[in-house]
Amino acid sequence: MPKLATPDSPAAVNNFRRAAAAILLTVVLAACGKTEAPYVERPVEDLYNGAMNAVAAYNWEAAAKGFDEVERQHPYSVWATKAEIMGAYAYYQQNKYTDAVSAAQRFLQLHPGNKDAPYAYYLIAICYYEQITDVGRDQKITQQALDALQEVVRRYPTSEYARDARLKIDLTNDHLAGKEMAIGRYYLHQGLYIAAINRFRTVIEKYQTTTQVPEALHRLTEAYLSLGVLDEAQNVAAVLGYNYPGSEWYADTYSLLTGQKVASSDEQKQKEGWIGRTWHSVF
């Protein structure tokens, strides 16, 4: 029977060397397989034009990577400044809103006086605006959109971006008012009249120019009637009739209070003096 080799015997040493050589060869081959292409700096014009070509081809992912590469290789060039805002736009086109907002905010921090600053502010606002969800969900993003849109108008009131921002502000306010109405209606149906009244008054006082106000006045009248506060209900109904005489909500409110259909236009005109005086006593 052959003897086992001892650790320091010639046979053991040869076996160890062969094993070590095999392991080393395996490691070298694996490393060769993972070798990356060497970093090569490219002219800034080539990088920027390549990214713009990707934009023209609507290849937004490649465009974003290309603009990022301009910044990485040539951070102090004038092209890097252009690449920063274009990169934000490329992220926006991919619906990568968080990346787009971060890129635009970084651009504004580095270049607050740049001619593209108005667009950067507008892009941030649009990123928030396009994430607005239905009124059944949390409206934090809606408030962020409103704040960002108002910032555009405040900073650049005569710009083309401000004109569009004003339209979106109205829609955003209407959305926030809709959220208050949804909560108010829930409270009303649950018999939590004081909580409902607070929500409806918020709509009337904070979102006066929205489409939600006529219904808010109607629901407020309904809540006051449920509490048995007839004078307050009549006052609110008068405000609704004075400001929205042709509204279906006023017709419903009038019927709710009187059990009759709304008065004719001639009869309504005779009441306008009393209704007008009531407005200031309520709100």
pLDDT digits (tens, 9 = 90+) for 94-108: 999 999 999 999 999
* Model pLDDT, residue 41: 73
**Contact partners, residue 238, CB within 8 Å, separation at least 6:** 274, 275, 278, 279, 282
Given a cut of 70, whether residue 26 has pLDDT beyond it is: no
How many residues does this entry show for the chain? 283
Q: How confident is the model at residue 75 (pLDDT cuts 50, 70, 90)?
A: confident
Question: Which pLDDT value is given to residue 32?
Answer: 54
Could you give the 3-state DSSP secondary structure of residue 194? Answer: helix
* Average pLDDT of span 209-226: 95
Determine the pLDDT at residue 13.
Answer: 42
Q: Would you list the DSSP string of 107-147?
A: HHHH-TTSTTHHHHHHHHHHHHHTT---TTS--HHHHHHHH
Mean pLDDT for the stretch of residues 193-217? 95
Q: What average pLDDT does range 213-219 have in this prediction?
A: 96
Rounded to an integer, the average pLDDT of 198-206 is 96
SS3 call for 133: coil
User: What letter would DSSP give residue 3?
Assistant: P
Give the mean pLDDT of 236-240. Answer: 93
DSSP state of 264: P
**Helical axes 78-93 vs 97-110, angle rounded to 10°:** 160
In degrees, rounded to 5, the angle at the alpha carbon of residue 257 between the alpha carbons of residues 252 and 260 is 70
Phi and psi torsions of 275, nearest 5°: -65, -40
Q: What is the mean pLDDT of residues 14-21?
A: 50
Would you say residue 231 has pLDDT above 70?
yes
DSSP 159: S
Query: Which band of pLDDT confidence, cut at 50, 70 and 90, is reported for residue 28?
Result: very low
Q: What is the pLDDT of residue 246?
A: 87
Confidence class of residue 25 from pLDDT cuts 50, 70 and 90?
very low
pLDDT band at 117; cut points 50, 70, 90: very high
Please, which pLDDT band fits residue 257 given cuts at 50, 70 and 90?
A: confident
pLDDT value for 233: 93
Rounded to an integer, the average pLDDT of 63-79 is: 91
Q: Between residues 254 and 164, which one has the greater pLDDT?
A: 164
Chain position carrying tokens 């990568």: 96
Closest residue by Cα to residue 142 from 187, 179, 99, 184? 179
C-alpha 162: how far from chain center: 17
> What's the average model confidence in pLDDT over 213-239?
94
Q: Contact at 8 Å (CB) between 101 and 130?
A: no
Tell me the three state secondary structure of residue 88.
helix
The pLDDT, as a whole number, for residue 14 is 54
In whole angstroms, how large is the CA radius of gyration of the chain?
A: 34
Q: How confident is the model at residue 37 (pLDDT cuts 50, 70, 90)?
A: very low
pLDDT band at 261; cut points 50, 70, 90: low
CA 85, CA 209: separation in Å to the nearest integer? 35
Q: Report whether pLDDT(30) > 70.
A: no
**φ, ψ (nearest 5 deg) of residue 160:** -65, -30
CA 261 – CA 239 distance, rounded (Å):
17
